[in-house]
Structure 1
Amino acid sequence: MSTDLAPPGVHARRWRALALICAAQFMLILDVTVVNVALPALAADLALGRTALTWVVTAYTLCFGSLMLLGGRLADALGARRVLLAGLILFTAASLLCGLAPNAAVLLSGRAVQGIGAALLSPAALALVTTLFHGPERARAIGAWAAVGGTGSAVGVLLGGALTSGPGWPWIFYVNVPTGLALLAVLPGLLPRNAPTRSARRLDLSGALLVTAATGTLVHGLVRAGDSGWTAPATLLPLLGAAALYGAFAAAERRTLTPLMDPRMLTRRPVVAGSLLMLVATALLISFFFLGSMRLQHVHGLDAFRTGLLFLPVALTTAIGAHLGSRLVTTLGPRACTTGGMALAAAGCLPLAFLAPTADPWTTLLPALATAALGLGAVFVTATTTALGLIPPHEAGLASGIVNTFHELGGAIGVALASTLALDTTPPSPTGFTTAFTVCALTATATALTAPFLIPRGRPHPTGGAHGAH
């Protein structure tokens, strides 16, 4: 049997393959938020301060997002199947390292390696989804994929609370090990053996280093703002350095023959619109989980399990929103779906800007977050469908890398800003949370108002045909 062709029966089992690919992606997305509820326990056991706690979340999302473009290129160069399996092996091993971590250095290193594994796995997985399915089936498959992105974040908070209160925080990482091994045992027999399309020797490694350094410097500046203030040199210098590094990355991509990100891809309005929506939606959702978890434990005194339990309805409404979005995006179009979803997110978040410290979280915080998550769940689907709706299969790895890059960078930037705004005192004060939720509400409102001008007219038709700017 040729390795250039899909083995017999693969396409007949494409829905089973999709289920397992989504399970792998679910594990990656879950690890963005699974640590949120465990942060107080991690701080106590490993003596972590505010900055270190922020990096427990952002070390993962930073490496995940910054290296996503390289992962997409590797999927095109080496074949999506082998890159997905390599990423899954790395992520599973790093999860074991995190669970065994005796100190902050080992934990942060493990989280970074987890992010590298995720950056290999995720774009390769989405590239496989877009090549295994065609016509109307591809829209349903992408809808299922996008739903995983929204619900995984919410379920991560619930699972993190249950595991932290039960066997302990190491198990938020240990749980990935049997899951990863099971997927490694089954996936190889279901995935097509696609042929490499580009020489791996010509990969743009310098571009990958530049964009990773730029994003890391940006996140560092945002985190430092919480300690030093927004006008302090310790904050402004990293932010200016990040801008310079992003400029160097853009210049390098225009010069190289094999750019990490084809600049022409960012001239296509659907890709730009979908990527920006993904950035904002993820920043808001991950910020909600971070802020909600910290407020419930520091202001209301809830334990990890009750904190995680409170997010169960949020997980359900995120899934419902994603399901509704996958249906409405093909009937109403992405403009209406995104505008309505962001307006709902703003309406849900607005009451949190006026929340009293003595308010019952079950009747105030919970319904507000659930309402916001319902809207954001729909936006995840419309962002993904808009960006990938007109991308041909041979560019699926690069396009999915761009979309997922903005997903994870949104998480890193969202948590950095939320931490800076809300955790400005020790212990955190209700005023800080009020400021952070106010910024979230204003961001959602601004996005809802600009979405009709940002998103192209019409409805996406993901058939794998030619694409162009709209």
Structure 2
Amino acid sequence: MPDVRLNSSQGKWVLLTTILGSSMAMLDSTVVNVALPRIGEDLNADLADLQWTVNAYMLTLAGLILLGGSLGDRYGRRRIFVIGVIWFAGASLLCGIAPNAAVLICARALQGVGGALLTPGSLALIQASFHPDDRGRAVGLWSGLGGIGAAVGPFLGGWLVGGPGWRWIFFLNIPLALLCVPIAARYVPESADGQSHGRFDVLGAALGASALALVTYALIEAQTGSLKVALSATAGVAAGAAFVWVERRRPDPMLPLGIFASRQFTAVNLVTLCVYAAFGGFFFLFALQLQVVAGYSPLEAGTALLPTTALMLIFSARSGALATTIGPRIPLTVGPLLCAAAMLLMLRVGEGANYLTDVLPAVLVMGTGMVTLVAPLTATVLASVDASRAGLASGINNAAARVAGLIAVAALPLVAGMGPEAYRSASAFDASFDRAMPICAAVLVAGSVLAFTFVRRPPDDCQRPARRTHCSLTTPPLEAAPKRGNTS
């Protein structure tokens, strides 16, 4: 039984190293968008290169995150977590010294591999290390302190981009890793799942990642109209079908398709796809819009969404409690509608936009919508399956959100008619942004309709709680699988 107490010296070190590790991945998911205009200018990159700078990371992370959690269960959670931190830091160094866009994109893909190893491991270490009486408080502190990091991240990233330069948003991960790894090696107890058995679903992971990569490539390069694009799209669909076929027949699949027999679980994941597709497309374009069109500095663009993060940090626990009282259907219906209204308010953000009158109202409505929907969404995912599959269900939901963002970043510029050089022209980018925001709003409305139609209140005897604090803007929180024989 885990016996580390939170108020002990060891407990504090364990908590610190998990926060440092998860903060590395969280920072990169929030600050890179702010740096895109400077990256494009410095590396002479076109819009497709900027899309790949974001998507290469999300591609490997989304494709491998479920496998990363399984590796930790089998070979040791601390070992895989430390490998992930070292891998992530090494890839970050390569990102920082990248001489051109091609090297940066490859390095970002390697970062995603490291992220897939360390992201599920940070929470799993808390669940596996702390005494059951302290575990809930440890998770709350991990999430809350990580939330503060998420709030500071865009501000810090904007300052680095506008000051020392965009390369320092990647170099920042190196001292974090140098601090994290020795602490983990000395203070974090090793743990593994003794009942873990069977072969790893390497084929399933490869097929899933290949399908995502091929479809993403086809969407980003679609404007060229080349034969290669058509072949990539066809191969991507074929790889996706092969992935489903393999997962149906493997005894130990990475993605057990039987979990989707739960109508509630399937419905909430469809809502997740809609919501996080809209968020992914919006966050990719919004930082560009503020800098290219409105003339904001990287620091100003990085802090523009700070009120949204603050609202989630302060009110997500209350939102989760309200959803427990009234059920998830209303929050998951109303939340996306509020976010859709915020997308339409973003149409006011144009050339010379004033933050207080043009940007802040939309940001506050966006934050209110996200507060309303994120905690109930997570709680409903966990409540829709047996408690023993909570970790798997949360991992699938988190991966679904990342896949949605990946596809949105690839597809939205295409649908909005953005050319390869659109971000170099304020007028051209502004016109495309004005076409993109109603599309994001429509996707959110579709998510709201799905929630109203299919989401129902969990059974009264369901004891799976919502995460107490959450303020990541890009993905729902992960939930580690409960320890066998313990209550959590």
TM-score with structure 1 setting the length: 0.85
Q: How far is 1:205 from its partner?
A: 0.9
Q: How far is 1:298 from its partner?
A: 1.5
Q: How far is 1:357 from its partner?
A: 4.5
Rounded Cα–Cα distance in structure 1 between residues aligned with 2:97 and 2:193 = 37
Q: Per the alignment, in what secondary structure is the counterpart of residue 364 of structure 1?
A: helix
**Structure 1: which 5+ runs fail to align?**
none
Shifted more, 175-184 versus 248-257: the winner is 175-184
Aligned residue among 102, 106, 112 for 2:103: 106
Distance 1:263 1:241, change over 3 A: same
Maintained 8 Å contact 1:354/1:434: no
Shifted more, 450-459 versus 188-197: the winner is 188-197
Spell out, residue by residue over 1:134-157, the C-alpha distance to the aligned partner (whole angstroms, 9 max, x if none).
999877777777778988766544
Q: Per the alignment, in what secondary structure is the counterpart of residue 34 of structure 1?
A: helix
Distance 1:72 1:267, change over 3 A: farther
Q: How far is 1:102 from its partner?
A: 1.8
| Aligned twin of 2:293 | 299
Q: How far is 1:322 from its partner?
A: 3.1
| Aligned twin of 2:232 | 238
RMSD between aligned residues: 3.4
Rounded Cα–Cα distance in structure 1 between residues aligned with 2:252 and 2:194 = 13
Distance 1:285 1:212, change over 3 A: same
| Aligned twin of 2:308 | 314
Is the counterpart of residue 180 in structure 1 residue 173 in structure 2?
no
- Letter of the 1:433 counterpart: F
| Aligned twin of 1:223 | 220
- Letter of the 1:443 counterpart: V
Rounded Cα–Cα distance in structure 1 between residues aligned with 2:249 and 2:362 = 48
Rounded Cα–Cα distance in structure 1 between residues aligned with 2:306 and 2:115 = 25
- Letter of the 1:186 counterpart: I
| Aligned twin of 2:192 | 195
Shifted more, 202-211 versus 445-454: the winner is 445-454
Maintained 8 Å contact 1:275/1:406: yes
Distance 1:320 1:339, change over 3 A: farther
- Letter of the 1:47 counterpart: N
Rounded Cα–Cα distance in structure 2 between residues aligned with 1:417 and 1:147 = 33
Distance 1:411 1:374, change over 3 A: same
- Letter of the 1:316 counterpart: A
Maintained 8 Å contact 2:128/2:483: no
Is the counterpart of residue 448 in structure 1 residue 448 in structure 2?
yes
Q: Per the alignment, in what secondary structure is the counterpart of residue 32 of structure 2?
A: coil
1:241-252 → structure 2 map (5 Å cutoff): 241-252=235-246
Shifted more, 301-310 versus 58-67: the winner is 301-310
| Aligned twin of 2:397 | 403
- Letter of the 1:260 counterpart: M
- Letter of the 1:59 counterpart: A
Q: How far is 1:380 from its partner?
A: 2.8
Rounded Cα–Cα distance in structure 2 between residues aligned with 1:145 and 1:337 = 25
Q: How far is 1:212 from its partner?
A: 0.3
Rounded Cα–Cα distance in structure 2 between residues aligned with 1:309 and 1:363 = 16
| Aligned twin of 2:321 | 327
| Aligned twin of 2:464 | 462
Rounded Cα–Cα distance in structure 2 between residues aligned with 1:19 and 1:272 = 35
**Structure 2: which 5+ runs fail to align?**
466-481
Aligned residue among 418, 424, 432 for 1:423: 418
Q: How far is 1:38 from its partner?
A: 1.1
Q: Per the alignment, in what secondary structure is the counterpart of residue 104 of structure 2?
A: helix
- Letter of the 1:32 counterpart: S
Q: Per the alignment, in what secondary structure is the counterpart of residue 33 of structure 2?
A: coil
Rounded Cα–Cα distance in structure 2 between residues aligned with 1:423 and 1:365 = 23
Rounded Cα–Cα distance in structure 2 between residues aligned with 1:8 and 1:357 = 55
Q: Per the alignment, in what secondary structure is the counterpart of residue 169 of structure 1?
A: coil
Rounded Cα–Cα distance in structure 1 between residues aligned with 2:394 and 2:50 = 30
Rounded Cα–Cα distance in structure 1 between residues aligned with 2:213 and 2:413 = 16
Rounded Cα–Cα distance in structure 2 between residues aligned with 1:277 and 1:179 = 35
Q: How far is 1:253 from its partner?
A: 1.2
Distance 1:374 1:238, change over 3 A: farther
| Aligned twin of 1:283 | 277
- Letter of the 1:210 counterpart: L
Spell out, residue by residue over 1:11-65, the C-alpha distance to the aligned partner (whole angstroms, 9 max, x if none).
9776874564344323212212311121121112222111111101110011110
Rounded Cα–Cα distance in structure 2 between residues aligned with 1:377 and 1:19 = 26
Identity %: 35
Shifted more, 78-87 versus 125-134: the winner is 125-134
- Letter of the 2:214 counterpart: T
Distance 1:121 1:159, change over 3 A: same
Q: How far is 1:221 from its partner?
A: 2.0
Q: Per the alignment, in what secondary structure is the counterpart of residue 392 of structure 2?
A: helix
Spell out, residue by residue over 1:164-189, the C-alpha distance to the aligned partner (whole angstroms, 9 max, x if none).
00111111111111122222233345
Rounded Cα–Cα distance in structure 2 between residues aligned with 1:407 and 1:153 = 18
Rounded Cα–Cα distance in structure 2 between residues aligned with 1:29 and 1:41 = 21
Q: How far is 1:368 from its partner?
A: 0.8
Distance 1:123 1:137, change over 3 A: same
1:163-174 → structure 2 map (5 Å cutoff): 163-174=160-171
Is the counterpart of residue 381 in structure 1 residue 375 in structure 2?
yes
| Aligned twin of 2:474 | none
- Letter of the 1:439 counterpart: I
Rounded Cα–Cα distance in structure 2 between residues aligned with 1:390 and 1:184 = 36
Distance 1:355 1:99, change over 3 A: closer
Distance 1:15 1:383, change over 3 A: farther
Aligned residue among 36, 45, 58 for 1:48: 45
Maintained 8 Å contact 1:37/1:157: yes
Aligned residue among 88, 101, 108 for 1:91: 88
Rounded Cα–Cα distance in structure 1 between residues aligned with 2:83 and 2:371 = 30
Maintained 8 Å contact 2:348/2:359: no
Rounded Cα–Cα distance in structure 1 between residues aligned with 2:387 and 2:82 = 20
Rounded Cα–Cα distance in structure 1 between residues aligned with 2:183 and 2:99 = 33
Distance 1:357 1:237, change over 3 A: farther
Spell out, residue by residue over 1:364-388, the C-alpha distance to the aligned partner (whole angstroms, 9 max, x if none).
2332133213322443322322223
- Letter of the 1:181 counterpart: L
